[in-house]
Amino acid sequence: MHRIVVITLTAAFLIFAGVSQAVKIRKPAATTATDGAKRNPICLEDAGPIVGKWTLVEVAPRATGKRIPENRTWEFRPDGTLVTSGYNRHFKRNDTQTFHYEIDNCMIVSDVPGRPGKQLRYRVYDLQGDRLVLQGGVEGFYFFKRQ
């Protein structure tokens, strides 16, 4: 009997002290239909696979879960110029911005106009057919469709 009381008190103390923590397993939120197939990460050796015009459809802080609709064009040019245009929800107006980008260690590295020395880094999280997902930058995840 004494042993049962000691075990019960010890277990209660550990639970109260927070030592015993249950592991919660959460399923990731469903991805939207615009995702295409499974993740297909690539290491960019050059800009070839991304050169062209892309429509930024959505952005999100995570690959799964709630997304924010967008409607901007990103044009990766072969000379290392990135031109973004369309409605800018941060500035609440249409605009066009020009950046310089390069491929460095599998990543897209771009400058930030008006902020010398500041860089944004993106990795290709998924690239299949006319779908592109970039991870990094300011938003987290960028979901594109090729124009």
pLDDT tens digits, 38-74: 577 789 999 999 999 999 999 999 998 899 999 999 9
Q: Which token pair is 43? A: 């290491």
Question: 147: which DSSP letter?
Answer: -
Q: Which residue has the higher pLDDT, 110 or 38?
A: 110
Name the residue ranges covered by the structural domains of the chain: 33-146
Block residue for tokens 């991870």: 135
Overall fold of domain 33-146: Lipocalin (2.40.128)
Q: Which residue has the higher pLDDT, 39 or 118?
A: 118
pLDDT tens profile 14-33: 344 444 344 333 333 344 44
Say whether pTM exceeds 0.75. Answer: no
